[in-house]
Amino acid sequence: MTSLLISASAAGAGGAGGFLVTVMPLVLIFAVFYFLLIRPQQKKMKEHQGKISAVQKNDQVVTGGGLLGKAVKVDDEYVEVEIATGVRVKAVKATLSDVIPRGSGKPAND
């Protein structure tokens, strides 16, 4: 009778160890994906959203379509971009792909 209890408890412990051995590679793969792919992407997106929300008048902007111009008017949702002298387009703020602050680099309309 005691030998049956000992063998039953040994089998139960082996089952828990087997589960750990099975799950551990999945946990490691998730950890690698998180630290190498997900976390840097989230950090980059947060930085980009901060840049877009901080756009101001006279900043040089690049739209999602690749247009380069100067922000003339900035609202909560829209940005009016001057892409040439006297040519202004209205763009959704969320579609801006880059913002270059005033005074850095050459003017957009040259």
Share of the chain residues as helix, strand and coil, in percent rounded to the nearest 5: 50, 25, 25
Stated pTM of the model: 0.63
- The identity of residue 26, as a single letter, is L
Q: How far apart are CA 40 and CA 83, in angstroms?
A: 33
pLDDT at 101: 78
Contacts of 56 (CB under 8 A, 6+ apart): 71, 74, 101, 102
In the block, which residue shows the tokens 């005691």? 2
pLDDT tens series, the chain, 110 aa: 555 445 444 455 556 788 889 999 999 999 999 999 999 999 999 999 999 999 999 999 999 999 999 999 999 999 999 999 999 999 999 999 999 877 665 655 65
